[in-house]
Amino acid sequence: MSRKYFGTDGVRGYVGNSVIQPEFVMKLGFAAGRILIRQETNHRPAVIIGKDTRVSGYLLEAALTAGFTAAGVDVRLTGPIPTPAIAYLTRALRLDAGVMISASHNPFHDNGIKFFAEGGVKLSDEIEAAIEQRIDEPFKTVAATEYGRAKRIDGATDRYIEFCKSTFPNEMSLFGLKIVVDCANGAAYHAAPAVFHELGAEVIAIANTPNGFNINEKCGATYTRTLQAAVLQNDSDYGIALDGDGDRLMMVDKNGRLYDGDSLIYVIAKARHLSGSLKGGVVGTVMTNMAMENCLQEQGIAFERAKVGDRYVLEKLHDKNWQVGGEASGHILCLDKHNTGDGIISALQVLASLNILNKDLSTVMNDWQPYPQKMINVRIEKGQDWQTVSADALKEAEDALSGGKGRVVLRASGTEPVVRVMVEAQQMAWAEKYAQNIAQAIQA
């Protein structure tokens, strides 16, 4: 479905130079509010609005609140809080929708609006389409007697902390572990250290002093060198890195070795398979490393691929009635614990899995080593028929890498005029050779 404003996860852009500016955001809140009013005829709808630590959050929070209240919708404001906390609170407080103001792992000058429907689930395509259509209609507030009210709610972060702790097995604790927690100067700077500390770990919190501008700046899940250095410096057992809105996870072991989403999903799946609690199989994406897929299948664990994006992983999990999946980027889903990706809860599931396996991260990950990957971004002109010109080079690569030796992924970017050429193979020389061949064919 073609969208004018919504991407795969809400609306996002550079603040002030895109749709992310006060007038549009107010119209967005008003449009979403009117759609809620249309759906809820037996009571006044109410939404909860959270934000990360970007300085623009104040501006956009006020604009959204104006839009919703002008539409006749009540608003609950939490202040800085992780995205998965908004999904949880939408469900726990029996609200009609949740909204998160965040651009996730992007720099501070970007921001975005993410929506959750009743129950804390992602909006359907139909609801997004209805909101987009309503945005472009004339803006007119409801009668003054029907205006919504806004208020700040106390204890939202505390409720979320208790929810996260409840997903960790009661018979386990984190006593004896020293953990460095990198909060990315983002939305989880209060909640994340508290969760691991209250479960018994000695916690060293870093990147936990947000100032509105330093979110994701040389820290967090997209820049792990700071965490790796802190783990070694503090002689810690593990490092946990979240991103700016708290839904991604990367981990580091005591030797400073980094583990991405693929590795962490494997640990969770292996432990659940061993304990008999893995429901079905695992969902990854077209970018999930082939070595992981092969290792899972050797152990009798089914594996399916979805398009890139946690939205599509979630859809595939629901279709298969499975529970575990995610992306190498660190979006990890454990649907028996939460209905959206959650960095804190994912880390707790990894730590619980290591307890079940009675091994540390490095030992478990001796099961497989990632195949080398070569990625080339090839710029294309609008309307360029890159599929046809690359067909021969693609077939040559696929024939050479058949039989489990590797694979090729070609996909057009949804945000840039580029084709992403990814070749994965047992040997780096093969990956580089065939990626270059395909890229040159497209460029020619």
Q: CA-CA-CA-CA torsion for 250, 256, 257, 260, nearest 10 degrees?
A: 10
SS percent in the chain: helix, strand, coil, step 5: 40, 20, 40
Q: Is 115 helix (H, G, I), strand (E, B) or coil?
A: strand
Residue 136 has, within 13 A of its CA and on its CB side, a CA count of: 6
Exposed, middle or buried: residue 221 (CB in 10 Å: 0-12, 13-18, 19+)?
A: buried
Active-site residue (options: 104, 346, 353, 390): 104
Exposed, middle or buried: residue 369 (CB in 10 Å: 0-12, 13-18, 19+)?
A: exposed
Residues 6+ apart with CB under 8 A from 173: 199, 200
Residues 6+ apart with CB under 8 A from 260: 250, 328, 329, 330
Q: Is 10 helix (H, G, I), strand (E, B) or coil?
A: strand
The Cα–Cα gap between 335 and 349 comes to 11
The Cα–Cα gap between 183 and 207 comes to 5
For residue 255, what are the β-bridge partners? Answer: none
The Cα–Cα gap between 341 and 248 comes to 7
Known catalytic residue at 104: yes
The helix-helix angle for 22-39 and 125-135 (nearest 10°) equals 120
Active site residues: 104
